[in-house]
Amino acid sequence: MTNSEKVIEAASKIQTLIEELSNDALAKLFDQFSDRYFTTPASSKIEHHSAYPGGLAVHSLAVTEMMFKLVDVLKDEKEFPTAITNLDVIIVGLLHDLGKIGTAEGVLYYIPQTSEWHRKNLGQMYKYNENLKDGLTHAQRSIRLLQQYGFQLSDSQYISVLQHDGLYVESNRTPEIMFSEDKLARITHFADSYTCFVNKI
């Protein structure tokens, strides 16, 4: 399957999830940002994951699907069935990397790498936009965008988006995060890292 076909398939599945959930904030956000969401890469280098136009959507759907699988496996755990809802999984799974589209005003996070040397020798297809000077990590920007578009995130949803990269991010290396018992946050990080490093999506 080509990258373009992956994006088309992901877009169809994501649209179905949004329609089935019937959440006004989610529908409004995708109505506003769908063009960028479905054309933004998930990373900058080929050696990483989904470094092609629309890779963000493909990666985010894969994380969401992995989260649903994990919830299904853990559903018999004591008190677990009521701990995580479909809304939790869809919001966190689809939108944990939303900040990679850039700002609400349209300043992009990734821009195409124009240096042929970097593309050929380093596999760097995109670079970070030096004009994006909001001082936020992509996870913080995800939270910012969600708040701007009317999401009333629960503590668990907030933590899961903000800390989805786990201990790969130095600022997350605190006892409060390292030993967190938040189930949604744990599942989000595992699904994201497994999708990136094992499935290469």
Q: Which pLDDT tens digit goes with each residue over 133-187?
A: 899 999 999 999 999 998 999 999 999 999 998 767 777 677 677 778 899 999 9
Q: What is the pTM of this model?
A: 0.93
- Higher-confidence residue: 139 or 81? 139
What does the alpha-carbon distance between residue 88 and residue 182 come to, in Å, rounded to a whole number?
A: 13
Q: What is the pLDDT of residues 7-36, one digit of tens each?
A: 999 999 999 999 998 889 999 999 999 999
Beta partners for residue 128, in sequence order? 110
